[in-house]
Structure 1
Amino acid sequence: MRRIEDILAVPVAVRGGRSILLRDIATVIPGRVSRHYQVHGNGLPAVAFMVFKQPSANTIDVVHGIDQKLARLKALLPAGAKIRKYYNQADIISEARNSLFHDLLMGALLAAAVLFFFMGTFRATLIVTAAIPITLLATLAIMRILGQTLNVITLSALTLAVGMVVDDAIVVTENVVRHLQSGRDRQTASLNGAAEIAGPDASGTFTTVAAFAPLLFLSGIAGLFVRPFGLVISVALLASLIVSLTFVPMLFGRTGVSGQRHAMGTPLLAWLDRVLQRALHFTFAHRGITILLTVLALGLGGLAAWLGPINVLPHIDEGAILIEYTMPPGTSLKESDRIGDILEREALAQPDIQTVYRRTGSPEHGSQIEGVNRGELTIKLLPRSSRTRTLDQIMAALRHKYSKIPGVAFLYHQPTQEKMDESLSGLPAIFGVTIFGTDLPELVTLAAEAEKIMARDPALSNIINNTRIKSPQIIVHPDPMELSRYGL
């Protein structure tokens, strides 16, 4: 059906052998469906769509595939139309991955430099350094078997493991070199040196693994983040133990490493040895002071842990800000759109902001159904290297600007942070207070008092009192006499 006449000619019934058409019983006029939402991109009308990946899919691969499809769509767009990405989770993942790979490489190079400084022989340093990539490759293979992926958490664990996995190799190397210095041949020195140290080396490794073992049994949301970390560290330590007792002695037995060393760090080690001797003499001579200082240090550490800030997840910079806003119920789409335009212009006027996506209301068949009095802004920031302010400073500037708009309640998040807050607390915030009761006026009063108390705490922000958002209500008072007439 392409014309109104086609619709008017639709038969709707048959009476007396005659078809009754739609034009016989109705009038059809052109019109349009009432809109329940508005979408803008950088202040211009837009058509937006969101892509959700499957849980097992690789985010970066999905985004790469979407980019390829969008490149083909650009050729089909009318003149003046543009395609923009207003939020891309792959940017955060790629930045974190590249940063961790850089830290991993720098950690390995610094470890090699420190080893050479104290060991003094290039070949011995090379043997110990070679244990790092071999251990990490073995760890990656076991991670694959256990179903673990390379992500921010596992890469962080691998970065931390770089400094730990060389410990076993250094212990074995020191003992092998000691045997070489005593005049034994390479084969005997390697076998005896590794065999002598195997027990203490394994004990130290298993002790460290035992310290990380409790992380493997954490449950809930915290367990989802901490378990992979503890698992990767434990696997890396066990792999380093095996490498140090097999690969390292084998290389010493095959290469021409001598027991003679002229390390640049030898004077420093000698000085540290003298300092240690003096410290030990002092502690033995003043046991009371030593015990007192130890207890004091433990007490201060416990106090710092008790009073220090505690978070489920560290604060990260996603490079994007999500602002949800709510106006009084009954606000029309036209008025909501007008307020949304103001919010959009204020955001675009801020430096360090790259793009602004705004949605007011929601489509009838969308993934998130909201009234026309609600909306959100997704603000993409410039890369951190190009910004003049931090994310918190940008968010504070927007909060200051928007606080001057009356009758609108705001919530400020980062996109991924908002999802995490909802999964942890069931609310669009990490912390919420619920007041129960049957007296609504009293609940409103108590909510206002709670809001004032929390507002005085500088550690709290984004305080939203739901009772300030008035909702129209219909209160029904049944008439008992009338109900009794119907047996109710």
Structure 2
Amino acid sequence: MLLSDTSVKRPVFASVLSILLIVFGLVAFSRLPLREFPDIDPPVVSISVNYPGASASVVETRITQIIEERIAGIGGVRFINSRSRDGQADISIEFNVNRDIDAAANDVRDRVSSVADRLPPEADPPEVEKADADDDVILWLNFASQNMTTPELTDYANRFLVDRFSAIDGVARIQVGGARDYAMRVWLDRRALAARGLTAGDVERALRAENVEAPAGTLESGPVSYTLRIDRSFRTAEDFANLVIAQGEGYLVRLKDVARVERGTVDDRTMFRGNGEPMVGLGIVKQSTANTVDVAKSAKELMNELNATLPEGMQIYLSFDSSVFIEASIREVWTTLGIAVVLVTLVIFLFLGSFRTTIIPAVTVPVSVIATFIVLYSLGFTLNLLTLLALVLAIGLLVDDAIVVLENIHRRMQEEKESPLVASYNGARQVGFAVIATTLVLMAVFIPITLMEGNTGRLFTEFAVTIAAAVGFSSFIALTLSPMLASKILKPHSESRSGPLAGFIQGIDTTLDKIRDGYSRIFDFLVRRPIAIALATLAIMAGSWFLFQDLDSEYAPREDRGGFFISVRGPEGASFEYMERYLDEIERRLLPYTESGEISRLLIRAPGWGGGYNQGNVVAVLEDWDERRPADEIINEINAKMSDLPGIRGFAMMRQGLA
């Protein structure tokens, strides 16, 4: 064959080819992104609109329906999911998997902006984000200070931290848990209003009319031009208290005459605690198509950078990180890949009985693996559990080609008494087409998987292509590098063995000879009884089929991801104080797990992710896998402890990577 012939005749050429594959493969490997699974998440864009004080039915008719009607005609939409609740509308739009998320978000913004004038003026401007409205937080950062109150922490976070974390590539939004934003609170005195013939509407109109900052044109004086503005914005409680809201005959009615004005917060009905201590949380939600590992890594780097510049007594802590499980899983697969290479090399040594012969597959297999990264990078794939699993499974296939070539070279040296150079030339040429045929058959098995449709097809496409690419490179290496190395490394065959392991290798050979002889006797016995063999084969196939029917099936196996969530829901209309009492009780029942070391971090949040006061959430971060019981056992125990809480429904669960 041309490949093997050229490689044996021109060893420098074969070496340069392999070195180029290694160099390009390592460069591609360094640029491959890391994630848990192949990217099968569809592009999702969400719209959120706050309408303070409005009921769910009003939000539905005045906001949700108007926006839904306008965005329904956008191209590539799979479905639209909306949710209207008191004071807020959330609309999620899922697009076809091949839709560019940036273009989709721009189309949604254009459609939403065209109906902005039809929305109530009291509602906040719609916010469009490249993430599902119900997406989970991938990273919780706790923000605490010894010298600041919760409103001060919230103000600092909103002014200096939220924008910094929002600017990270792949971040959709930042949730501020336990936030208490500053606000001027006006407590109206109904009797004082009635005595002066005023209503709450009069106070609201006065506040809107007087508390303004507006442009006032320009003032030109000779060569100088000044830009003017009207600044009547109020900044202190005293400014608000002295606001004139009405004028009688000879007297003025000020706000302080009919109300009590104080600086407070927009809403005190929020709670965020970590292991029982009140704090403010920064929750990072990634974009629907973003890489969890990359986003988490960038956020943690920014956290470390910001910690060096924060005011004295202030600190940002990492409380929950969903990327830890992903990185640990991938490390385990890398370890498995390394063990597979070592075991394969050891088995080759035991069967071939020569260090020199073993060196060749020990070199060619890693070269094939490294070269595969070139294909992964070229096709835009990632390093994930499935591509690494494909490499682990491919190790056994990769070594096949090298062994076929080596065994034939070794046989020709032993039986034909050829020199290593001649045996390498003739041996590789003799089995070259067999190696290529085997490779094509294996590729033909895996490549059709890429034609599968839906999420399953997208999930296993990278798996199939990785194996096919690895097998293809192994065939190329077996016909180029393997015969070249054999011609240089192997020595002429000798009947006697020498060296420190000669006795051990001779013992292995004797054992293998006995196994071969035993197999020959069994084979001869079975060949004489074809009917019995056929019946036994049919029985095994039938039994396997019946057992297969009884197997349970699921999309993906359950995983212990190192953390779980508890969703707590009270009856409709339940107050924050009602939920706080039950969340305190749940926290009290879970704190013993932190003391025993099974739970390292316990986060309590109310209102929950749904936003209603009758909801709450608990995030439990478990200790390392080796230092605790299985997560399912802990979760079942906690669910049993919460089952006797009569006024709420609480259920602990662990979200899975593939759902």
Q: Same fold (TM over 0.5)?
A: yes
Residue 311 of structure 1 and its aligned partner are, at CA, apart by: 1.8
The residue aligned with 2:480 is 246
Classify 1:136/1:56 alpha carbon distance in 2 versus 1 (closer, same or farther; 3 Å). farther
For residues 397 and 258 of structure 1, the distance between their equivalents in structure 2, rounded to whole angstroms, comes to 68
The residue aligned with 2:627 is 386
For residues 304 and 88 of structure 1, the distance between their equivalents in structure 2, rounded to whole angstroms, comes to 41
- Of the structure 1 ranges 213-222 and 258-267, higher mean CA displacement relative to structure 2 is found in 258-267
Is 1:414 the counterpart of 2:654 in the alignment?
yes
Cα offsets for 1:326-380 (capped at 9, x unmatched): 2211111111011111112212212311111122224xxxxx5431112221111
Is 1:128 the counterpart of 2:355 in the alignment?
no
Say if 2:245 and 2:255, in contact at 8 Å, map to a contact too: no
Classify 1:185/1:45 alpha carbon distance in 2 versus 1 (closer, same or farther; 3 Å). same
Residue 68 of structure 1 and its aligned partner are, at CA, apart by: 3.2
Q: 2:601 aligns with which of 346, 355, 364?
A: 355
Residue 23 of structure 1 and its aligned partner are, at CA, apart by: 4.2
For residues 82 and 398 of structure 1, the distance between their equivalents in structure 2, rounded to whole angstroms, comes to 31
Is 1:202 the counterpart of 2:436 in the alignment?
yes
The residue aligned with 1:286 is 529
Classify 1:7/1:298 alpha carbon distance in 2 versus 1 (closer, same or farther; 3 Å). same
Cα offsets for 1:457-479 (capped at 9, x unmatched): xxxxxxxxxxxxxxxxxxxxxxx
For residues 355 and 168 of structure 1, the distance between their equivalents in structure 2, rounded to whole angstroms, comes to 51
Residue 71 of structure 1 and its aligned partner are, at CA, apart by: 2.9
For residues 363 and 472 of structure 2, the distance between their equivalents in structure 1, rounded to whole angstroms, comes to 16
Residue 22 of structure 1 and its aligned partner are, at CA, apart by: 6.8
SS of 2:281 mapped into structure 1: coil
Residue 58 of structure 1 and its aligned partner are, at CA, apart by: 4.9
Give the structure with the larger strand fraction: 2
Q: 1:96 aligns with which of 326, 329, 349?
A: 329
The residue aligned with 1:467 is none
The residue aligned with 2:401 is 168
Q: 2:581 aligns with which of 338, 347, 368?
A: 338
The residue aligned with 1:403 is 643
Give structure 1 stretches of 5+ with no counterpart.
Answer: 363-367, 422-488
SS of 1:48 mapped into structure 2: strand
- Give the partner amino acid of 2:319: Y
Classify 1:149/1:392 alpha carbon distance in 2 versus 1 (closer, same or farther; 3 Å). same
For residues 183 and 13 of structure 1, the distance between their equivalents in structure 2, rounded to whole angstroms, comes to 115
Residue 119 of structure 1 and its aligned partner are, at CA, apart by: 0.5
- Give the partner amino acid of 1:391: A
How many pairs were matched up? 408
Note the aligned Cα RMSD (angstroms).
Answer: 2.7
For residues 348 and 390 of structure 1, the distance between their equivalents in structure 2, rounded to whole angstroms, comes to 18
SS of 2:616 mapped into structure 1: strand
Is 1:29 the counterpart of 2:269 in the alignment?
no
Structure-2-length-normalised TM-score: 0.58
The residue aligned with 1:474 is none
For residues 540 and 240 of structure 2, the distance between their equivalents in structure 1, rounded to whole angstroms, comes to 86
For residues 32 and 322 of structure 1, the distance between their equivalents in structure 2, rounded to whole angstroms, comes to 29
Is 1:258 the counterpart of 2:512 in the alignment?
no
Say if 2:639 and 2:651, in contact at 8 Å, map to a contact too: no
For residues 116 and 348 of structure 1, the distance between their equivalents in structure 2, rounded to whole angstroms, comes to 55
Say if 1:143 and 1:232, in contact at 8 Å, map to a contact too: yes
Classify 1:55/1:408 alpha carbon distance in 2 versus 1 (closer, same or farther; 3 Å). closer
Say if 1:8 and 1:21, in contact at 8 Å, map to a contact too: no
Cα offsets for 1:392-416 (capped at 9, x unmatched): 1111110111112124323332244
Give structure 2 stretches of 5+ with no counterpart.
Answer: 1-233, 498-504
SS of 1:249 mapped into structure 2: helix
For residues 355 and 256 of structure 1, the distance between their equivalents in structure 2, rounded to whole angstroms, comes to 59
For residues 311 and 194 of structure 1, the distance between their equivalents in structure 2, rounded to whole angstroms, comes to 46
Q: 1:183 aligns with which of 404, 417, 436?
A: 417
SS of 1:84 mapped into structure 2: strand
Among all aligned residue pairs of Structure 1 and Structure 2, give the percentage whose two residues are the same amino acid.
27
Say if 2:240 and 2:261, in contact at 8 Å, map to a contact too: no
Residue 260 of structure 1 and its aligned partner are, at CA, apart by: 4.1
Structure-1-length-normalised TM-score: 0.77
Is 1:213 the counterpart of 2:213 in the alignment?
no
**How do residues 16-55 of structure 1 correspond to structure 2 at under 5 angstroms?**
23=255, 27=259, 29-30=261-262, 31-54=264-287
Say if 1:124 and 1:257, in contact at 8 Å, map to a contact too: no
The residue aligned with 2:87 is none
For residues 547 and 489 of structure 2, the distance between their equivalents in structure 1, rounded to whole angstroms, comes to 50
Classify 1:139/1:14 alpha carbon distance in 2 versus 1 (closer, same or farther; 3 Å). farther
Residue 34 of structure 1 and its aligned partner are, at CA, apart by: 3.0
Say if 1:171 and 1:201, in contact at 8 Å, map to a contact too: yes
Is 1:71 the counterpart of 2:312 in the alignment?
no
SS of 2:518 mapped into structure 1: helix
Residue 312 of structure 1 and its aligned partner are, at CA, apart by: 1.0
Give the structure with the larger helix fraction: 1
The residue aligned with 2:167 is none
Q: 2:352 aligns with which of 119, 123, 137?
A: 119
SS of 2:651 mapped into structure 1: strand
For residues 340 and 8 of structure 1, the distance between their equivalents in structure 2, rounded to whole angstroms, comes to 38
Say if 1:177 and 1:258, in contact at 8 Å, map to a contact too: no
Residue 172 of structure 1 and its aligned partner are, at CA, apart by: 0.7
